[in-house]
Structure 1
C-alpha cells in the first residue's frame, strides 16, 4: 500500500490543476494531465480513491440510509449542495478509467487489462447513477480537444444499458494466453491478495459476471427484458460467477496509518481523543431486531457486545423487566407485609410474586437521533403520574451500546463489494423471476451457508430450520421498542413471498456494504422501515417535514450545475420526472425525496400521515429484551450460574448481568 500511496502522490501532482476545479465544465477543458502511463502505475491509485470514496459515503450517509448502523450525528436528512462527490467520481476516478479504456481498446495483447478497466468503470457508473439517477455518461468526459461546454445527462435506462453492454464485453475479453504473458496487473489491488501481487484473471472474470448479474437485476424495474437478457446469459455458465470465499471482491487496506489505513480507521480511531457515541457507528434497532428475532449468530461478528469497547469497566445500561418468583422463598418479616398470615394459612407453597428487576443486556442498539416525532409523547404508567421512559434512553456511559465490530473499521480492514452469498442470492432471485423455484430454494440456502462461512459462524442448520428462515415459511419477529415495526418474514406462498425471504437474507448477509443495502431496499421495498423522526428540528433540506421523514432516495445535483451546465441540468431533471414513481416538486424536482427510476414506489407514503402524523402517546415495549434470561426468577438464577460458574445466587446474578431487585409488585395464588 506504500507503493500505491507513492503512485497516488505522483498522480495527484499530475492532476492538481484539474482536481481543484469547482465545476464539471472546467474538468474537460484542461490539457495538462499526463495519461500515457502504464495501467500498473494508474489503476491501483484509481481503486484506492474509489475505496476511500466508498467509505466516505458510507460513514457520512449510507450507513444511515441502509439502516445497517446508526451514526448519530448524521441521522437528520441532509443534502450535499457542493460538487465534492461529483468531482471525486469524475475527476478522481472516471477520467483515468476512460483514458485507460481508450488506450487499450482494440489491442488484443491488452484484452485482460481492458476488461479490468471496463469492469471498474462500470462499477463506478453503477454507484453514481444509483445515487443521483440521470447523470452525464456518454459525453461526460469527452476528449479535451473537443472542449464540450455542456455535458448531456443520460437517462437511467441508457446508463444501465451501456453498463451491462460494457460488462458483457469485458466478460468475453478475459483469457490466459501464453502470447501475452504481461497482460495482467503486476500490483493488483483487487485480486492480488494482501501483498498486492499479480492479477488472478479467473477471479476478475467472476467479478465482472457477478456484477453484471447484480446490475441486471438492479435495473429490472426500468426494463424487465433488459434484466432477463443479461441475467440468463450470465447464468448460462454459473462456474464463471463468484463461487467461493476466495472469489469475493475484497479490497484490502494497508497497515500504514499515514499512507494506506482505511478511511474508517483514520476518521474514527486514529485521531480520536475521546469516545463519542454520536460519531462511532453502532447497531441500529431495526437491523438488530432481525438478528434478535431469529437468534442469528452473525450478530457477534457484526457488532461488539455492550460496553466491550470501553478501556476500563463502566456501569452498564440496565433494562427494567418483570419476573415471577416463588413467594415462599422470600416470605420473611422484612419483605412480606402479611408474613404472619402467610405462614399460618399453609398456602405459601402456591403463592407467586410478580417482581420488578433491572439487568444489563448483552447487545444494545443505539437509538436514532429522535425517539419520538414532534407531537408524540410517552404514555403514562397506569395508576401513576409518571411517564414511561425510553428503554434505550438511560445510558450510564457512551460505551453502553453495541458498536460496529472493529474488524470492519481497523486500519487494514477490507472493503467487500460482492461476496459469495451475493452470488447465490442473485441467482435465487433470477430463478424466481425467470427460471425454477426449486433451483431458487437451493441457491437461497446456499447463500445463507456462504454468509455463515464468511463470518466463521457455526449453527447454520439450526438457523435454517426456523420459521421464516426455512424456505416457504413465515416467521414472526420482534417489534421495535415503540411497536412501529416488526421483523416478520413472509416466505410462505408464491413469488413475492419467496423474493421477500431472498431479499431479507441478502440484506443481512451484505452487512455494512451500505450501497448495496440502500439499493436493495429502494428497488424492492421489502424492508419498509419507518421514517426518521425530526421532533420539530429545523433543516434546510427542500421538502423537509419537521415531524417525520422517510430517508433519502437520492443525492441532489451540485448547485453549480444550475449555472455551468444549465440546459443539460434541467434535462437531467426531466429524465428523473419521466421514470420516477414518486416525484416531488421541491427544488424543481431535484430533491432528496424524488424516487429514482430503478426503484419501486414506497407503498407506505400514502399512509404516512395516518401512521406518523398528529399527536400520539407511545407505550414502549422492548420485546427483544423481555425475559432475556428466563421467565421466572428461578430460571434467571440458573442462567446466571451457568454463565459464571458461581454457586451463590446473588453473586451469580450480579456477575452475570448486574442484576438488581427493585420491588415486589403483587403476591397472588394463580
Structure 2
C-alpha cells in the first residue's frame, strides 16, 4: 500500500477529542506531528467531533433558540460569538482531516466508496458553515501540506453552493454498491454500519449523499433558482437512491462512556449536577402552538409532561413539588351551588334569598374561575412576559378594581415546564441529520416549485414517515383528516398567550399555500434538528415568528434593540480575520452586502442581523416598530389550555370521573386535575 504523510494532528481512535488552536491561519502552516491517513482510523474521530460541535452549536451557539424548538432561560438576549472557536473546530478539528483523507483516496483506484464518503461529510461541514456565516474559505481553505499560505479568499455563497452541489453529484456517482473493492468501506461505521458499528452499508451512504444534494439544492434556490432546479431535477430522476425508510435516515449516536463518548448535552446539563434550577432546555411556546392546535401525538415524543422531568433515564421531580395551575373559566348550573353559607365559597351565592324566590334559579348559569393542571406546559421564548415599555391590559369589567391580565405561564416551580424529551438529551442520544421525512418534504417542495408530479403524495408520505419515526403510526389517519393538515385545506391554530402569533396553516389554493403546508410540516417533523429548523425559516419565511422581546437586558450584540430583536440571521466572522486575513475578510463582507436581502451597517457590516444570500427578506421588518415598539398594552389568552378537560363544568366532572373511577364530584376533580375553585365571576340568565 502506498503511504502518504501530511502535516496534521494525530487522531488515533473514535474517542479522541481534538484540542483546537486559537487562530484559523494555523491550518495553513506546517505542524510537527504525522500519521498514516486511513479512513478507519481517522473518520470516526471526525464524526465524534462533528456530533459534539453540533451539540455545542445547538446550545452555546443558540441554534435551539433560533429555530424556536426550545428555550434556555439563560439565553435571554442576542449575543455575537466572535467566531474563532467555531472556525477552528470546523477547519482544524474536522475539515483538515477530511481534506487529507480526500487527498489520500483521490488518486487511488479501488477506493471510490471511501472517497465518496469523505467528500459527502466534507460538503456537509461546509453546508453548516455557509448556513452560519455566509461565504467562508472553501476553495483555498486547506493546502496540500507542502505550502503554507496566510492569505486565502472567502468564496461567495453562490460559489460555495455551486461547488458543494458539484462535489455531491460526483460523490453520488462514485459509489460502487454492487461490487466494492476489498476494504473500500469502513469496517466499523458509526453512521451506516450494522448495529451502529459494523461494516458500511454503502447503499445508505449513497442515499445520504443524494438526499443531502437535494437538501442543498432546495436550500440554495434564493441564490440561484437555476442551480437549484438543475440539481433537484437531476437527483430526483432516480428516487431509489434517496432516503426512503426509517432505517436509511442519516443519524449518528453518542456512546455510554461518561467521560469520553457521552453526549454533549449529558456533559453540559446532567453530568456532575447536584441540583436542578430550571436551566434545562424546555419546549418553546411558539413551536408548541402547532402541536396543541392540531392535536399532534408527536408532542409526547418531543417533550416531557409538566412535573415529570426525566434526565438520562432518572426521574428528577421531588415529591410534593407544587403543580402548575392554569386559571380557566367554566359555566355551571347555578341552582346546584346557590347556598347561603359564606364559609363555603364554592357554594355561596350573595343573592341567595332573591334567587330562591323569583322562580328563575333553574335557568341561571354561573361563570366561575377555576384552577387545574395542564399535562404539557411550554416555556415562553423569554423569561419575561412584557417588553420594555409594555404593560398588562386591565381585565374588562374589573378596571375599577385595578385587576389586570397576567402571564398564564407563570410557574410555581422550575419543574412545571415541559422540558425537551430525554431521548434527545440523554447520554447516548442520537443526532438526526436528514430523515426519511426530510427527503419526502424536499421532493414535495421540488415538485411544486419545478412543476413535477406527485407533490401531494410526497407531502403525505412525509407526515407518515415522521409518525413512523416516532412510533405514532396508529394515530396518523386521525391527524391527517384535520383542516390545515389535509392537503389543500386551511387550518386555524391557537394564538400564543400574548396574542402576538397564530399557528395557522394556509394550505388551500395555489403553489404558495401548498408550499406553506410542506414547509410547516417539515418544520414540525424536524424537531431538535436545529440547523434545519433555522435554515428553513430563513430561506422560506413561512413561519414568521414574532421577535424576541427584551426588558432592558444588556447584550454584547452590536446594533441590538433593547425592546425587541428578530433572532440571529448569521454568525459574525472570527475577530482575528480582520487583522490576519484583512483583504479577504473585507471582501467577504462586500460579497455579503451584494446578495443580502437585508443588510445592516452595525459593526462595519459584519453583524448578526444581516441576512445571508440564501435567505428571503423577512417581510415583518417593515412594520416591526409599529407592532412591537414603544408603549403597548397586552392581553393574554392561553387558548391552548382553555376548556382542556371539557366545554363546561358538568363535562369536566364527567371526564374526571371516567378518568379516576371516583363517584364524588370533588374527589374526582382533585384527583384527576388538582382542581381548585377560585371565584364566582358572575351569575346570569342565558
Would you call these one fold, judging by a TM-score over 0.5? yes
The aligned residue for residue 235 of structure 2 is: 234
| 1-structure distance, mates of 2:431, 2:15 | 22
Measured after TM superposition, the shift of residue 177 of structure 1 is 5.4
Are 2:43 and 1:64 equivalent residues in the alignment? no
Contact 2:15–2:260 (CA under 8 A) maintained in structure 1: no
Give the 5 Å matches for 1:252-651.
Answer: 252-277=253-278, 279-309=279-309, 310-334=317-341, 335-367=348-380, 368-381=382-395, 382-383=398-399, 384-393=401-410, 395-436=411-452, 439-457=454-472, 458-651=474-667
Q: 1:361 & 1:121 partners in 2: Cα distance?
A: 45
- 1:257 and 1:194, CA in 2 relative to 1: closer, same or farther beyond 3 A? farther
Give the Cα–Cα distance (whole angstroms) in 2 for the partners of residues 47 and 311 of structure 1.
38
State the SS of the aligned residue for 1:153.
coil
Residues 98-130 of structure 1: per-residue CA shift (max 9 Å, x gap): 110011003231000000000000100000011
Structure 1 distance, partners of 2:214, 2:264, is 29
Contact 1:245 1:454 in 2 (8 A): yes
Match of 1:46 in 2: 46
Q: CA deviation at 1:562?
A: 0.6
Give distance in 2, aligned partners of 1:662 and 1:564.
66
Deviation of the 1:53 alpha carbon: 0.2
Moved more, 361-370 or 64-73: 361-370
Contact 1:68–1:514 (CA<8 Å) still a contact in 2?
yes
4+ residue stretches of structure 1 with deviation over 6 A? none
How far the C-alpha of 1:339 sits from its partner, in A, is 2.4
Indicate conservation of the 8 Å contact 1:379/1:618, yes or no.
yes
Q: Counterparts in 2 of 1:194-209, with a 5 A limit? A: 194-209=195-210
What is the alpha-carbon distance in structure 2 between the residues aligned to residue 44 and residue 644 of structure 1?
A: 52
CA distance in 2, matches of 1:180, 1:482: 62
The answer to whether the Cα contact below 8 Å between 1:5 and 1:259 also exists between their aligned partners in 2 is no
Provide the C-alpha distance between the structure 2 equivalents of 1:509 and 1:10, rounded to a whole number of angstroms: 33
SS of residue matched to 1:90: helix
Task: Give the superposition deviation at 1:642.
Answer: 2.1
- TM-score, structure 1 as length reference: 0.96
TM-score, normalised to structure 2's length?
A: 0.94
Report if aligned partners of 2:369, 2:681 keep a CA contact under 8 Å in 1: yes
Inter-partner Cα distance in structure 2 for 1:362 and 1:5: 47
Which residue is 2:13 aligned to? Answer: 7
Of stretches 279-288 and 535-544 in structure 1, the one that deviates more from structure 2 is 535-544
Comparing 250-259 with 294-303, which one deviates more in the overlay?
250-259
Q: CA 1:427 to 1:179, structure 2 compared with 1: closer, same or farther past 3 Å? A: closer
- Separation in 2, partners of 1:11, 1:105: 26
Asked whether the equivalents of residues 217 and 228 of structure 2 are also in contact (C-alpha less than 8 Å), the reply is yes
Report deviation, 1:75: 3.1
Give ranges in structure 2 of 5+ residues lacking alignment. Answer: 1-9, 310-316, 342-347
Cα distance change on mapping 1:439 and 1:82 into 2, 3 Å: closer
Asked if 1 retains the 8 angstrom alpha-carbon contact of 2:255 and 2:262, the reply is yes
**Equivalent position SS for 2:671:** helix
The CA distance in 2 between the partners of 1:51 and 1:10, in whole Å, is 13
Does the 8 A contact of 2:444 with 2:458 survive in 1? yes
SS of structure 1 residue aligned to 2:454: helix
Instruction: Give the deviation of 1:311 after TM superposition.
Output: 4.0
Is contact 2:11–2:42 with CA below 8 Å preserved after alignment? no
1:381-434 CA-to-partner distances (Å, cap 9, x unmatched) read 3332132211112x1110000000001111111110001100100000000011
**Cα distance, 1:347 vs structure 2:** 2.2
C-alpha distance in structure 2 between counterparts of 1:461 and 1:556, whole Å: 45
State the alpha-carbon separation in 2 of the partners of residues 630 and 10 from structure 1.
56
Which has the larger helix fraction?
A: 1
Unaligned runs of 5+ in 1: none
Deviations 1:113-170 (A, max 9, x none): 0000000001000000110001000001112322111111000000011110110001
Per-residue deviation at 1:31?
3.2
Shift in alpha-carbon separation, 1:659–1:221, aligned structure 2, 3 A: same
